């Protein structure tokens, strides 16, 4: 089976490419390397191309003839999306429609989409079930919510079969330390904490201590990136076996506050780094925790790394390995 993976040189994409390769799938990564790293592609071939360029995409599809497409390529920074919404609607929404158009033109109708918990905005119910209303509070979440709507319509009219995976907070790294999280600029909590522990940053800032949570800081459902990768493999097998279109939340079903993540990182690293309490970051919901019972039941997903200490340890191994120049 041949799988075309956009954004396969990025953080989550590269872990899914690793999982696909280990399972014997033939992989073609399409990535413009605007954010990704070519050395993160452990299996298959990498073609450097942009999803804006439909003609090149068409040639790639005609040559590779994929059985299914997994689509990771996207911008992911909530704060940036509030400053530059056009970037998000172009790259995340318009370019996804380009990709779908080329897929359908080439007779490919199986699609795994990287969606996000950000489509829920400030949910009324926590843990969040998939049937919770779609009410994003930032352009990033809206750019993904639009695609989910397009997917529904393309299923009805063109017979597209898709699985939309709504990620909560992907974290951690390959347990063997070959690949990990490496964004530029880095905005995510765990890598920023670890950079602070390494002395690359003077302090870690807590964005808001007045949220309606037990310790006043935001709560997130941190899911190990390899457990998330496994959800993609199961979703792919489901579609290849003729499954109908579905949406699944991807998280463990319980969360940790920013303070709890910091305390766990102190324990894992053994380093007492500096913490500063600051203002809220715009666009951050107080609590995002997945109800992932549907993923467990329908796809028989059995996570292996539901342990914050372990997640942070794999991320710490990766950070230290990069420090030693073994990236």
Residues involved in catalysis: 140
User: How many residues belong to the site for ligand UFG (CB under 6 A)?
Assistant: 21
CA distance 324 to 182: 15
Copy the structure tokens of residue 34. 């605007």
Residue nearest to ligand UFG (CB): 218
| Residue with token string 């920013």 | 258
Q: Are 197 and 271 in contact (CB under 8 A)?
A: yes
Residue of 166, 48, 52 lying closest to 116 (CA atoms): 166
Site for ligand UFG in 29-68 (CB under 6 A): none
Q: Which of 151, 218, 231, 268 binds ligand UFG (CB under 6 A)?
A: 218
Least separation, in Å, of the C-beta of 272 and ligand UFG? 18
**CB-nearer residue toward ligand UFG: 174 or 284:** 284
Least separation, in Å, of the C-beta of 242 and ligand UFG? 31
3-state helix, strand, coil in the chain (%, to 5): 40, 20, 40
Q: Which of 258, 290, 295, 311 binds ligand UFG (CB under 6 A)?
A: 258
Q: Is the peptide bond before 96 cis (omega within 30 degrees of 0)?
A: no
Residue-by-residue DSSP string for 11-60: HHHHHHHHHHHHTT-EEEEEE--SS--GGG--SSEEEE--TT-HHHHHHH
What is the four-CA torsion angle of 275, 281, 283, 285, rounded to 10 degrees? 40
12 touches ligand UFG (CB under 6 A): no
Least separation, in Å, of the C-beta of 76 and ligand UFG? 4
Binding mask 265-304 for ligand UFG (x = CB under 6 A): ----------------x--x---x----------------
**CB-nearer residue toward ligand UFG: 202 or 300:** 202
**CB-nearer residue toward ligand UFG: 17 or 290:** 290
> Taking CA 14 as the corner, what is the angle to CA 9 and CA 16, rounded to the nearest 5 degrees?
140
Q: Are 150 and 100 in contact (CB under 8 A)?
A: yes
Q: Are 87 and 140 in contact (CB under 8 A)?
A: no
Least separation, in Å, of the C-beta of 9 and ligand UFG? 17
Q: Are 37 and 182 in contact (CB under 8 A)?
A: yes
Least separation, in Å, of the C-beta of 96 and ligand UFG? 15
Site for ligand UFG in 88-147 (CB under 6 A): 116-118, 140
**CB-nearer residue toward ligand UFG: 120 or 162:** 120
169 touches ligand UFG (CB under 6 A): yes
Residue-by-residue DSSP string for 181-221: ---SS---HHHHHHHHHTTSSSEEEEE-S-SSSTTSS-EE-
**CB-nearer residue toward ligand UFG: 117 or 250:** 117
CA distance 119 to 269: 34
Binding mask 175-214 for ligand UFG (x = CB under 6 A): ------------xxx--x-----------xxxx-------
| Residues at the contact surface with ligand UFG, assessed by CB under 6 A | 76, 78, 116-118, 140, 169, 187-189, 192, 204-207, 218, 220, 258, 281, 284, 288
């Amino acid at each position: 089976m041949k799988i075309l993976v956009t954004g396969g040189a990025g953080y989550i994409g590269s872990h899914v490419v690793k999982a696909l390769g280990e399972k014997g799938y033939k992989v073609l990564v399409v990535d413009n390397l605007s954010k990704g790293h070519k050395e993160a592609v452990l299996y298959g071939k990498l073609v450097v191309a942009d999803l804006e360029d439909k003609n090149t995409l068409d040639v790639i599809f005609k040559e590779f003839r994929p059985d299914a497409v997994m689509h990771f390529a996207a911008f992911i920074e909530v704060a940036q999306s509030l400053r530059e919404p056009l970037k998000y609607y172009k790259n995340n929404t318009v370019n996804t429609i380009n990709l779908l158009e080329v897929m359908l033109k080439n007779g490919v109708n199986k699609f795994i989409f990287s969606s996000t918990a950000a489509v829920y905005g400030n949910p009324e119910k926590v843990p969040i079930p998939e049937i919770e209303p779609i009410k994003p509070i930032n352009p990033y979440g809206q750019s993904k919510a639009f695609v989910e709507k397009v997917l529904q319509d393309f299923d009805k009219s063109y017979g597209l079969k898709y699985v939309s995976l709504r990620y909560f907070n992907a974290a951690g790294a390959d347990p063997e330390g070959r690949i990990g999280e490496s964004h530029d600029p880095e905005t995510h909590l765990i890598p920023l904490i670890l950079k602070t522990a390494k002395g690359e940053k003077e302090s870690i800032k807590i964005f808001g201590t007045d949220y309606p949570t037990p310790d006043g800081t935001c709560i997130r459902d941190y899911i190990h990136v390899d457990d998330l990768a496994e959800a993609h493999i199961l979703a792919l097998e489901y579609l290849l076996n003729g499954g109908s279109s579905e949406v699944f939340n991807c998280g463990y079903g319980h969360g940790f506050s920013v303070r709890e993540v910091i305390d766990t990182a102190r324990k894992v690293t053994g380093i007492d780094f500096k913490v500063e309490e600051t203002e809220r970051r715009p666009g951050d919901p107080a609590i995002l925790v997945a109800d992932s019972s549907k993923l467990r039941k329908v796809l028989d997903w059995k996570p292996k790394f539901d342990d914050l200490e372990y997640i942070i340890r794999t991320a710490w191994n990766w950070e230290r390995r990069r420090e030693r120049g073994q990236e």
